[in-house]
Structure 1
Amino acid sequence: MSILKETNNALIVGASQGIGLGFVKKLLQLDNIARIYATYRHQESASELIALMGEHPERLVCLSMDITDEVQIAKCTEKLRAEIDKLHLAINCVGILHEGTLQPEKSLRQINSEQLVRYFQVNSIGAVLLAKHLLPLFRHHDASIFASISAKIGSIGDNQLGGWYGYRASKAALNMFMRNVAIEYDRTSPKTIVVTLHPGTTDTRLSQPFQKNVPAEKLFSVERTVTQLLAVLEKLQPDDSGQFFSWDGSRLPW
């Protein structure tokens, strides 16, 4: 798959920091990426991203969008369709593990319905709403990829430790949503490969409280994670659509 070797338009969702911002920086280094659209939720936490737009005004467009609000997703995709008629690469990097009082549950005693809803809104539902609204931009004859950042911890087959109910279940739901999307896109946008990706433990705000027991060689810098994931995307073939890949290119169990 030569998706990154042609002249393409890309969308990075959740680009204000972490892996999403890393993808924007990496794609800006590739001359064949004609236009990069990058979304953020809060302007105050997206200062570095917005500064990049000032440096690359012809190639980078930053858009405010909350992935839990379908109206905002629709408005954002309308803006894209007003400027481009083809999208070749979309990577959804939005995810939540902890936020204020929201923390991964260690036991059933800590289960809270509002917290579970929040996990699913951000980690699962937003991605399938994106797939719904981006479909018209993927309906073309060029090769394209729609990828979502998942997590190995969302693998049911790999779950040996339990705990982290909301995060695990919402990532498992993301995987199922994207599997469904892959099947429908195969009929309606057959040139689009749909995958979920496990980035490995990356040194970001999301993983920071949980890095203590991670061996140094297993804690990846954002730049390394992005480079590894782009290498996985480069090698994708049409029959890989609907699959769940780790950062090293291996397929993960559901």
Structure 2
Amino acid sequence: MTFEIQAHRGARAFYPDNTPQAFCKAADLGCFVIELDLNVSNDLCLVVSHDPWVSASGDDSSKHYLYSMNYDEIAQLDCGEASANFPFQQSVRAVRPKLSEVFRTVEEQLRRARRPGEMIYNLEVKSWPGLDGTAHPPPEEYAALVIREIGASKLERRVRLQSFDDRILVAARNLAPTLCYGLLVEERAVFDSFPERPGFVPEYVNPRLDLVDESLVSWLHGLGAKVVVWTVNHPEDMLRMKRLGADGIITDHPEVALHLSGLSDS
């Protein structure tokens, strides 16, 4: 079995996260899965951005939710400044792309590299129960928007849909039962009601690194779920996750994981 290495928000060590440049760099490195974040504009465009808001001055008082802005407004805001958290990251000219643009750009990059049809897109739908109508549409409307966009892309077989918000997974699965789903888990308490909530066992259950031990991996495998752990950035943790039997990792440093002896070997 191949241990899966997912590029978290693209190749963040090289370019700002969730930008086309970061995703194309992940493809160039040889990644087969990129993970990216989805939010929604006021005119119902799916916007690739980790945060559901933008800030003019860096303080909370100036935050504006993307859901309150049309995409043409969002597209005026640069998001290509390098982060101090990644010392080798390069600043680029970039705006928060639409999901359709990411699909098109990465697929073109793969064709140029003679790797057509190889990339899997793991889409994290950003959703919070207390922010319906403020940061995003309610679950049924939100899910319908995402499923429609995936259908239009013709990439259904290479798309996964994951979220911390199980309401999104249920609503999306009702519309597209054959799509691949993943439940992101940040708190151990989530497992107290799983799988009764969300009411099915998704193909993937993706827990936070510090929650993972051998017994958790074994239990989830016994339920029929694969386990991809986030966010795993240190080589010793990457190797430990493989030893524990996890199916893969989501990492900010795919360039390390892809060349780590004993990790990427099948």
User: What is the TM-score normalised by the length of structure 2?
Assistant: 0.35
Decide which structure has greater helix share.
1
Relative to the length of structure 1, the TM-score reads 0.37
